[in-house]
A and B are shown apart, each in its own frame.
Chain A
């Protein structure tokens, strides 16, 4: 089970966003990813392998963590970053996602 916190993050453009994802079991692999989803769209891969940015993802997005605690950081929020974010583990089947965290405009 992946638990994301906070469920909703209200911030202003230019602020820093820190999203957390806690796993119920410790991961020894680095099979951990983050996605962004906007209404009516498929998820977009942001981070894979804990800390690798996917192609075309701006460097304001970064991922970190190990074991049971993982973090997605958006250094300076741009207007297009207000969306829902999901964490995802793909090291232990069945693969699971967090419940999502919404970043909305304060």
Chain B
């Protein structure tokens, strides 16, 4: 069964600190992996998208890594800001014609002053 699992489920950090979120998946065949940020009451916004051949991709203070061999990804947030408080969702796309996305349950991040 194709699944995407994220950890931790929730995380509280102090403003200015770094943090790393984890994502493990069993989706096959694999097309790409995306990290989204979802603010409360809003739709998901794409942070990064990586294909099989990409190991790392950055978007400002967000850096995503992908190990396609172990089927693991991480999202590292540097110098966190209060506005980083949100849910971060790992999403994997199957390599088929359906273009369906398989969602992780998300990590709820709270950045405190």
Answer yes or no: do A and B interact.
Answer: no
| Chain B residues within CB distance 8 Å of chain A | none
